Amino acid sequence: MRSADRIEIKDLLLRGIVGVNDNERRKPQDILVNLVMDTDTRPVAAADSLDGGLNYRTVSKQIIALVEESRFHTVEKLAEEIARLVVQGHPVAAVQVSVEKPGALRFARSVGVTIARGPEDFP
């Protein structure tokens, strides 16, 4: 059985508002996003063209806009909305989304969540 092709976006460092504490709600903070998108890359490779394939630049721009405008209370909700955006708007069979808040916990480099979603998760 052939495994799915994957396109990854690694360490997309953005700024947005996410958190439950008053100080987290006042000003944007660093948010680190990583994605693994399962998609068939053969048509793009065969045509040497992005037509009909997954354009990761478009995905990245949409995620940037979502995070910069975000006012979510949890990283779980932000991860879910990123997954929804990718699955509903692009030719992917599944997506894994990791969202981290660097420096959110004392003595920890970051804290975050990783989720996996597919089209069936967003009817």
Residues labelled as active-site residues: 101
Element (DSSP H or E) covering residue 26: helix 22-26
Q: DSSP 3-state helix, strand, coil percentages of the chain (rounded to 5)?
A: 35, 35, 30
- The DSSP secondary structure of 55-69, one letter per residue, reads -HHHHHHHHHHHHHH
Closest residue by Cα to residue 8 from 33, 35, 32:
35
Contact call for residues 101 and 18 (beta carbons, < 8 A): yes
Helix axes 56-69, 75-89, angle to 10 degrees: 150
